[in-house]
A and B are shown apart, each in its own frame.
Chain A
Amino acid sequence: MKPPPFKYYAPTTTDEALALLAQYGYDAKVLAGGQSLIPTMNFRLAQPSVLVDLNHIPELFYIEPDKNGGVLVGAMTRESQVEHASLIAERAPLVHETMPHIAHPQIRNRGTFGGCMAHADPAAELPAVSVALDARFRIRGQTGERWVPADEFFIGFFTTALQPDELLVEVALPPTPQRCGWSFQEVSRRHGDYALVGIAALVTLDDHDRCNQARIVFLSVGDGPVEAHQAAKVLRGQSPTPEAISAAAEAAAGADVDPSSDIHATADYRRHLVKVLTRRALGQAFGRAGFKNDE
């Protein structure tokens, strides 16, 4: 099948794009990287009558240092640019570690950082990473701008806080806290396939080498990023020994996730992967934070 006809616009400024979205509302779809949208149009699962192409808006493509020590990423920045940016490697190591897991290099050459977030595929890596990092999303409409934290941006299945006449223009990645460790892990059948289960973990240690904070977020186990609050509760204030980490992994698999079965994996197998990946990710993250297991 081929896509059905649509009206095509290629605005050169964000304001122009917003005017088009205000004009067409739900009839219009935004074209960013197109690596998720165009497959759905090729299969006629999506049939927008209007496409607003953002690829000619230079002001949306950037990676810049934030004054607070973090990084500001323009929504149209290509995933491959984020993957190879030294600023990201230095200031957002969790993002840097995640990027090679996203599809394949050919996809990352067109796919965009903001487009991935706005699409909100439950199997996508970046939404889970953005929740673990407590990233903030800058949304612009014709009437002004608003900031939404990551855990309020992702509302459900392919659904975000974006209104039809709004654009995500920037993602703000916070600075790396003191005594911080991170890890990204995922399991897929072949390299580059959608993850069966994935985990993004960000942890910090206090002055006594106990867990201060733990953000543990899963992908592919629900309608969007799923945060493991029980697992985090188990860890807070504890020394992150293998025993503590095992307990957290049990909590994550038993209490925090309720995965479903599909053609790729059963719910049971997903639960199993949650347990295994939690152990691996927390072990790596606390190690990176500086915890040494002296037992």
Chain B
Amino acid sequence: MSDLFNLTVTVNGTRYERAIEPRLLLSDFLRHELGLTGTHVGCEHGVCGTCTIMFDGQAVRSCLMFAVQADGHDILTVEGLGTVEELHPLQDAFRDAHALQCAFCTPGFLMTLVPFLEQNPNPTEEEIREAIAGNLCRCTGYQNIVEAVKLAAQRMAT
């Protein structure tokens, strides 16, 4: 076994310190070490998008980072986006537009779309479709997801 690394990382505003193996993927660290299972694991090679989180404010694939690389950095997962009592406007829009069925892909979509809408508060349908091209959904056929983004953009503008 390789030497353990002392990791310090902030996740959803809370600072964590853990001793971990370098080979531990960030996705598995979040799920197994921190119990934050909202971040999902699908393909482990970067194409499906279910593991997408926000790392220092940017959308990244947590399956393509080792947890040790997050030392000193700032992570937001879907658990940090909103609460059941107070959903993020994007989560509200997903519910209202029926943009989820099994919801396995949903956290990855949300964490992709939050930074996207920050940079593009008024996107065209073309821009939305391009932005979500890196997230796969087997249930919805994507149409309602696109509608949810339009709805969220509208609501967040007011």
Contacts and interface: CB of A to CB of B under 8 A. Distances in A.
B115 to A, nearest CB: 9
Contact of A35 (B46, B49, B59): B46
B138 interface: no
Interface of B: 1-3, 5, 21-23, 25, 28, 44-46, 49, 52, 55, 58-61, 63-66, 68-69, 71, 112, 116, 130-131, 133-134
Contacts of A109: 55, 58-60
Q: Is the interface of A mostly helix, strand, loop or mixed?
A: loop
Interface stretch (A100-108, A175-183, A233-241): A100-108
A5 B23 contact: yes
Contacts of A10: 68, 71
Q: Is the interface of B mostly helix, strand, loop or mixed?
A: mixed
A55 B21 CA distance: 18
A51 interface: yes
A69 B55 CA distance: 34
A53 B52 contact: no
Interface string A122-161: 0000000000000000000000000000000000000000
Contacts of A110: 60-61, 64-65
Nearest to A38: B64
Contacts of A105: 59, 112, 116, 131, 134
**Most chain B CB neighbours (cut-off 10 Å) among A10, A41, A105:** A105
A55 B52 contact: no
Given A38-B65, A53-B69, 17 more contacts: A2-B28, A5-B1, A5-B2, A6-B2, A8-B68, A10-B71, A39-B45, A41-B23, A43-B45, A55-B69, A104-B134, A106-B49, A107-B134, A109-B59, A109-B60, A191-B133, A192-B134
